[in-house]
Homo-oligomer: A and B are copies of this chain.
Amino acid sequence: MTTHRVNGDRLNQTLQELARIGATDAGGVTRLALTDEDRAGRDLLRQWMEAAGLAVRIDDLGTMTGRRPGRNDALPPAQIGSHIDTVRQGGRYDGALGVLGGLEVIRSLNEAGIETDQPLELINWTNEEGVRFEPAMMASGVVAGRFTIADVYQKTDRNGHTFGDELTRIGYRGDAASRPGPAAAYVELHIEQGPVLESRDAPVGTVEGILGITWIDITVTGHADHAGPSPLSLRHDALLAAGRIVNAVREIAARDGDPVVGTVGRLDVEPNLINVIPGKVTLSADFRHPTERGLDRMVGELETACMRIAKDTATAIDLNRFWSILPTPFDPALLKAVDEATATFGLPAQRLWSGAGHDAKYIAEITPAAMIFVRSQGGLSHCEDEYSAPDDIAAGANVLLGAVLATSTGSGEPNPD
């Protein structure tokens, strides 16, 4: 089997060129969904797609789909997708790598004269980040049937502009018939946004799925008193209880090992004065687990721990599990194809879970899906210091190319015609 490779230099140059649109002084990018910057980014991407011979169509969500015909164009396509919108003061790689990595795959196939049986589609999803319009992964969510187009159009940004009006304004409101349909396969290349690959000294990893998430609000009610005159045994110290909850969240998550995590990210103390025993503390717990049963078990263990802590500290503790999203395991055959493509390039096949959401999460509900992660320096993302080395980026795109060819039946070699 011939190992086809992308042009890594061209891909890295293309990434840097797109990063000029919305560039920040500190080397990052602010390119929020449906802004003038997003429009400029889309216009440039459209030029690149068309120059690569893709037939570009725009759907009613602003989703851009560039199609490369297959030998048998009636077959369901193999799709490559991600997004070019960013967070405020975000980085140059999050999202853009998946779209431009896909573009590079198309360019390389063109140069090598390779046809595939199935058509290939390159997709740029609208508003993955959910920063300007909530929630995140908006277009892929509509395509997967999670949200309705009517709801999405009414979403407003902080200035009262609606998603629908802004989509029209930037000239990217197309028709529902142009939406990407269910496909034979969907592969998304993305930076890891975490430190796992770096810690394993591996440039590329196969993403087994996206962890399920549960968010819990916790309220500890004690009694505020002067720090001096209140003996320890007569206190109702809400922060003492909260400190033990923070520890319990960690211990519960640690029991199941990686990739299970548990985090207390938010904690607020009242009245928050140096010499007053805290009367009330509100805090959050964020649990992530590859299985729904695992999530439920963690919550149950936290409830048990809080009952004990409340008793020991003479406080009252209320838990409110206010939001959950189920885990998404990716398609096993596609994961195997990614592993094999990785091995083809002499790289160690690495399995890891994604702790964050991606468009692939929703698309996995209608199409066999998988993701490929590229090592992130320092695990950083959603910041101006986000960085992946050019060689790692090239390696990720090579694996993407290999995986796409493996899923495209009867193809992989230049057309002998």
Query: With a CB–CB cut-off of 8 A, which chain B residues contact A334?
Result: none
Query: With a CB–CB cut-off of 8 A, which chain B residues contact A382?
Result: 226
Least CB distance, A252 to chain B, in whole angstroms:
11
The reply to whether B274 and A266 form a contact with Cβ atoms under 8 Å apart is yes
Check if A273 is an interface residue, CB within 8 A of chain B.
Answer: yes
The reply to whether A268 and B264 form a contact with Cβ atoms under 8 Å apart is no
Interface bits A254-290 vs B (CB < 8 Å: 1, else 0)? 1000110111111111001111111000001010100
Interface pick from A140-148, A177-185, A231-239: A231-239
Query: With a CB–CB cut-off of 8 A, which chain B residues contact A286?
Result: 227, 274-275
Query: With a CB–CB cut-off of 8 A, which chain B residues contact A221?
Result: none
Check if A228 is an interface residue, CB within 8 A of chain B.
Answer: yes
Check if A89 is an interface residue, CB within 8 A of chain B.
Answer: no
Least CB distance, A360 to chain B, in whole angstroms:
14
Interface pick from A28-36, A96-104, A193-201, A297-305: A193-201
Least CB distance, A193 to chain B, in whole angstroms:
5
Check if A173 is an interface residue, CB within 8 A of chain B.
Answer: no
In Å, the complex CA distance between A242 and B259 comes to 24
Query: With a CB–CB cut-off of 8 A, which chain B residues contact A160?
Result: none
In Å, the complex CA distance between A306 and B207 comes to 38
In Å, the complex CA distance between A193 and B225 comes to 9
Number of copies: 2
Query: How many of chain A's residues have a CB under 8 angstroms from any CB in B?
Result: 58
In Å, the complex CA distance between A34 and B230 comes to 30
In Å, the complex CA distance between A240 and B249 comes to 9
Check if A246 is an interface residue, CB within 8 A of chain B.
Answer: yes
Check if A169 is an interface residue, CB within 8 A of chain B.
Answer: no
Residue of B nearest to A376 (CB): B229
Residue of B nearest to A195 (CB): B234
In Å, the complex CA distance between A243 and B232 comes to 18
The reply to whether A247 and B250 form a contact with Cβ atoms under 8 Å apart is no
Pick from B231, B273, B284: contact of A258, CB under 8 Å: B231
Pick from B234, B237, B245, B246: contact of A263, CB under 8 Å: B237
With A247-B247, A267-B239 in contact, do A379 and B229 touch (Cβ < 8 Å)? yes
Residue of B nearest to A234 (CB): B195
Binding site for B on A (CB under 8 A): 192-196, 199, 211, 213, 215, 225-234, 237, 239-240, 242-247, 250, 253-254, 258-259, 261-269, 272-278, 284, 286, 288, 354-356, 379, 381-382
Given A215-B275, A227-B265, A264-B278, 5 more pairs with CB closer than 8 A: A199-B231, A227-B263, A230-B379, A244-B247, A265-B274
